[in-house]
Amino acid sequence: MPVAPQLADAELLAGAVDLHVHGGPDVLARRHSDLELARRAQAAGMAGLVLKCHNESTVGRAAGAREATGFPVSGGLVLNPAVSGGIEPDAVLTSLELGARVIWMPTLAATEHLRAFPGAAPGTNRAAARPARVSRSAIRAICVHVARHDAFVATGHLGRVHSALVAEEAAAAGARVLFQHPDYTVPGLSLRAQASLAQRFPDALFERCAYVVSADAPRPTTVERVAAAIRAVGVERNVISSDLGQPANGDYPDGLAAFARSLIGTGLGIGEVREMLTERPAALLR
């Protein structure tokens, strides 16, 4: 394996945009508050972040952190039944009008997630474990709303079939779509499945998250496999996010820098990794 260059965190993270980080308050324990995350990202020379919560909208929270720090913090809505009523176009439209930049498909309430993790996840209420009903017509309407507001839609914890359905409707509506952490337990897509989706949906991007290789993650994968997946879909089709915020994973954004450095250690170019951290995720928020 190639030896990773000894780059300082500041060099790796300068201008980085993290599209997926968890802050507090939350039902689940989080290491930092939203405000602390914004201040830490700002101090690290990053250019923006997106707050995610499985249990409520982060649009208003992002606005508060942005006003308090002057740092670009964005929010969005996860379509879990306990949050939005499920895959509901009206809830999405309201969130977009309030300033949401990303709409995530169901996560804890995705059928595939509930199959992988039977019962309610620790720290969530019973409603969060109620399966979200997947409706093509509702997803179609949501993608139209997302396109009109120049936001983007992420596939959440949906499996391969439902993720492809979202990508189909996004393409038809002219909405941007992100296949969320395909290397995580859910959806747990094989390299072949990811390559097939990349070929089928040439405008879609794939998210690579630091959390999936963390020892704190359930059934973590290896950075070598993540790098192989990046190559399988084409380096130019990927963004790097953290999906961090769990107390066991250390102070933010150290884990994001460590993940980037480890990807360079697999042989990916410094410029390639930097682009996945900076220009490409930034473009999704424009």
Indicate whether 59 belongs to any domain.
Answer: yes
Q: Do residues 35 and 65 make contact, with C-beta atoms less than 8 angstroms apart?
A: yes
pLDDT of residue 220: 96
Dump pLDDT digits (tens) for 216-268.
Answer: 999 999 999 999 999 999 999 999 999 999 999 999 999 999 999 999 999 99
**Confidence (pLDDT) at 210:** 98
Nearest CA among 138, 130, 134, 34 for reference residue 91: 138
Mean pLDDT of 25-54: 97
49 lies in some domain: yes
The chain-wide mean pLDDT, for the chain, equals 94
Handedness of CA 199, 201, 205, 209 (dihedral sign): negative
Predicted local distance difference test score (pLDDT) of residue 2 = 46
Is 44 a domain residue?
Answer: yes
Higher-confidence residue: 200 or 119?
200
**DSSP letters of 109-167?**
TSHHHHHHS-SPPTT--GGGGSPPPP-HHHHHHHHHHHHHTT-EEE-TT--HHHHHHHH
For residue 79, tell me if it sits in a domain. yes
> With the C-alpha atoms ordered 195, 12, 18, 26, is the resulting torsion angle positive or negative?
positive
Average pLDDT in the 1-7 region?
Answer: 55
Least confident of 2-11, 38-47, 131-140, 201-210: 2-11
Measured CA angle at 159 (ends 157, 165), to 5 deg: 105
The number of CA neighbours under 13 Å toward the Cβ of 38 is: 22
CA 38 to chain centre: 17
- Which of 258, 224, 208 has the alpha carbon at shortest distance from 1? 224
Q: What is the CATH number of the domain that holds 36?
A: 3.20.20.140
CA–CA distances in Å: residue 215 to residues 21, 86, 187, 189: 17, 31, 19, 20
Q: What is the helix, strand, coil percentage profile of the chain, to 5? A: 45, 15, 40
* 210 within a domain of the structure (yes/no): yes
Q: How many domains does the chain have?
A: 1
pLDDT of residue 3: 47
The number of beta carbons lying within 10 Å of the beta carbon of residue 240 is 28
Residue 121 pLDDT more than 90?
A: no
Alpha-carbon distance 10 to 3, whole Å? Answer: 19
Q: pTM of the entire structure?
A: 0.95
Q: What is the mean pLDDT of residues 186-210?
A: 98
Q: How many CA atoms does the CB half-sphere of 175 hold within 13 Å? A: 29
Parent domain of 63? 9-284
Q: pLDDT digit string (tens) for 54-93? A: 999 999 999 999 999 999 999 999 999 999 999 999 999 9
In a domain, 3, yes or no: no
Does residue 219 sit within a domain?
yes
Q: Which pLDDT belongs to residue 1? A: 42
Q: What's the pLDDT tens digit per position in 124-177?
A: 555 556 789 999 999 999 999 999 999 999 999 999 999 999 999 999 999 999
270: helix, strand or coil: helix
Torsion sign (Cα): 206, 212, 218, 222: positive
